[in-house]
Amino acid sequence: MTYRFGDCELDTELRALRREGRTARLQPKVLELLHLLILHRARVVPKEVLLRDLWPDSYVTTSSLTRLVKEARRACGDDGRGQRVIRTVHGFGYRFVAPLEVEANAADGEGERAIDLARRSLEAALDLGGRDLRARVRDFAETCRMVVQTARRQAG
CA angle, 70 as apex, 64 and 75 as ends, to 5°?
Answer: 125
Domain range list for the chain: 2-155
Residue pair 75/26 in contact by the 8 Å Cβ criterion: yes
Q: What is the DSSP string of 84-101?
A: SSEEEETTTEEEE-S--E
CA angle, 25 as apex, 57 and 8 as ends, to 5°?
Answer: 100
Question: Closest Cα to residue 85, out of 16, 4, 1?
Answer: 4
pLDDT band at 47 (very low <50, low <70, confident <90, very high): very high
Q: How far apart are CA 95 and CA 146, in angstroms?
A: 18
Task: Tell me the three state secondary structure of residue 77.
Answer: coil
- Tell me the CATH architecture of domain 2-155: Orthogonal Bundle (1.10)
List pLDDT tens digits, range 9-22.
Answer: 999 888 999 999 99
List pLDDT tens digits, range 65-120.
Answer: 999 999 999 999 999 899 999 999 999 999 999 999 888 765 455 566 666 666 66
Q: Residue 76, exposed/middle/buried by CB under 10 A (0-12, 13-18, 19+)?
A: buried
